[in-house]
Amino acid sequence: MNTAIKSVASVTLGCKLNYAETSSILDNLGNNGWSISEIGENPDLIIIHTCAVTNQAEQKCRQRIRKIIRENPESHIAVIGCYAQLKSNVLEGIEGIDAILGNEAKFDPAIYDDLLDAPESSRMVSITPASSFEKVYQGYSLSSGEGRKRTRAFLKIQDGCDYGCTYCTIPAARGRSRSLPSGVILDRAKELAAAGYREIVLTGVNTGDYRHDGHTFASLLRKMEKIGVSRIRISSVEPDFLDDELISVVAGSEKIVPHFHVPLQSGSDAILKAMRRRYDTARYRDRVLRAVERIPDCAVGADVMIGYPGESEEDFNDLCRFIDGLPVAYLHVFSCSVRPGTDLELQVRNRERIPVYPGEISRRQNVLAELGKRKEEAFNVRYVGSQGAVLFEESRKAGRGMFLCTGYTRNYLRVSVESRTDLSGQEREIAIRSLGEDLILVGRLLS
């Protein structure tokens, strides 16, 4: 094996879990003699971590892969992650890719060593069936780049999903639900706290489904409260896991922030049933209302899917009315992609469910985006005139010797302030004065 120092750079596409895993992969390579580089520095290897959640995500992956190959002709290219796991045959048709690694092989540092030593004409493909996945690999992601202040870190606690929603490829890409031992998670969290990170975001495919050696997600959170960070945030939680125990843990905590991202997908009971979601609108409403009633200043965000095949105008109107009556702080709106290999694809192929016309999907998406903007504005305006702590993540020079610093409150409100110093990595008390552009709150420092 070549003993010269090898350099590696990475590009990550998709979810926070991918970012957490990329950081873990780079950390392992660094511990095995690699130097971590940037793409513009002509690295020996470029790892491209891909996403396959929608058709659009796959298209963006292909475009980015081709661009990176074109601009880095001397680098080896390894494409990893969910798109590699599900569409290795498509990737094999792209000239310039040297390795295609699925969601198990991507964690093996020896594979990347072998890649650099392999003959130039060879291509390495390593795809293990997701049905055989047993181990869950550690992952963490640091929100700030090298040389910047340390603020947020994403910490993976779980992988895979057992839910079997009709439209979803996650079980095929990542396997069944599996969780890391609580001791491993706590040790890594302590390391991140000792390194100066102020907030840890717990992430996974189905985070609330955490279970290992008798520990549930709620009991893990109780242990996490002993970690020396200011904030612990939950990346996302399915409605059926937003139960009274979890709400009680967050309500009684000084560290777990009052913020839940709770996927909704549809506000029509008929569509939720067709999707095989594990709740109806009444249960979703009950969970959200309980959370905002029990937890002061609780912010709830929701994912909403538009254009599920068979979604009628009545279904869409039910969705809009449902969201309009919910105390949600923001929406993430996206259109449905019929993914190959899913039950939904089979239903569409057999004409059991008829796709919604693309122009109608765009119209509905615009209507819901406008509704989401109104809900977010209404939630943010409630806090004008209030005071609270902001963890600042970014600062840029704004002229007159001042910095424009932006960060987030505990309940995920984005706030900007002017300061004479760079506040990145600091948590400071502020007073919110007004609602500015792009729904960002404008504040002033109290000290």
Indicate if the alpha-carbon torsion angle 381, 302, 141, 29 is positive or negative. negative
Is 279 among the domain residues? no
Helix, strand, or coil here: 69? helix
For residue 431 the two structure tokens come to 């007073």
Q: Which of 128, 159, 182 is the last residue of a domain?
A: 128
* 181 and 242 share one domain: yes
Helix, strand, or coil here: 201? strand
Q: Give me the pLDDT at residue 73, please.
A: 94
Asked whether the beta carbons of 126 and 111 are under 8 A apart, the reply is yes
For residue 136 the two structure tokens come to 């869950």
* 87 and 11 share one domain: yes
Helix, strand, or coil here: 406? strand
Distance CA 113, CA 192 (A): 28
Residue ranges of the chain with per-residue pLDDT less than 70: 1-3, 140-149
Is 269 among the domain residues? no
* 376 and 391 share one domain: no
CATH code for position 304: 3.30.750.200
Asked whether the beta carbons of 288 and 281 are under 8 A apart, the reply is no
* 371 and 391 share one domain: no
* 207 and 102 share one domain: no
* 359 and 418 share one domain: no
Q: Give me the pLDDT at residue 142, please.
A: 54
H/E stretch holding 315 reads: helix 313-324
Nearest to 139 by CA among 7, 302, 227, 12: 12
3-state DSSP of 339-405: CCCCHHHHHHHCCCCCCCCHHHHHHHHHHHHHHHHHHHHHHHHCCCCCEEEEEEEEEEEEECCEEEE
Is 169 among the domain residues? yes
pLDDT, one tens digit per residue, over 36-51 is 999 989 999 999 999 9
Is 268 among the domain residues? no
* 31 and 71 share one domain: yes
Q: What DSSP line would sit under 170-200, residue for residue?
A: HHHHH-S-EE--HHHHHHHHHHHHHTT-SEE
Strand partners, 391: 408, 427
CATH code for position 102: 3.40.50.2300
Q: Give me the pLDDT at residue 3, please.
A: 58
Contacts of 335 (CB under 8 A, 6+ apart): 54, 305, 306, 307, 361, 365
Is 323 among the domain residues? yes
Q: Give me the pLDDT at residue 136, please.
A: 86
Indicate if the alpha-carbon torsion angle 186, 170, 275, 320 is positive or negative. positive
Helix, strand, or coil here: 217? helix
Burial class of residue 51 in the structure, from the number of CB atoms within 10 Å of its CB (0-12 exposed, 13-18 middle, 19+ buried): buried
The residue whose two tokens read 């095989």 is 276
* 377 and 290 share one domain: yes
* 317 and 378 share one domain: yes
Distance CA 13, CA 19 (A): 8
pTM recorded for the entire structure: 0.91
Q: Provide the residue range defining the domain that includes 430.
A: 387-445
Structurally, the chain folds into a number of domains equal to 4
Q: Which of 327, 356, 382 is the last residue of a domain?
A: 382
Is 76 among the domain residues? yes
* 252 and 291 share one domain: no
* 233 and 341 share one domain: no
Is 263 among the domain residues? no
Is 267 among the domain residues? no
Q: Which of 238, 257, 276 is the last residue of a domain?
A: 257
* 105 and 11 share one domain: yes
The angle formed by the CA atoms of residues 99, 105 and 111, to the nearest 5 degrees, is 60
CATH code for position 141: 3.30.750.210
Q: Give me the pLDDT at residue 149, please.
A: 59
Distance CA 244, CA 208 (A): 13
Helix, strand, or coil here: 150? coil
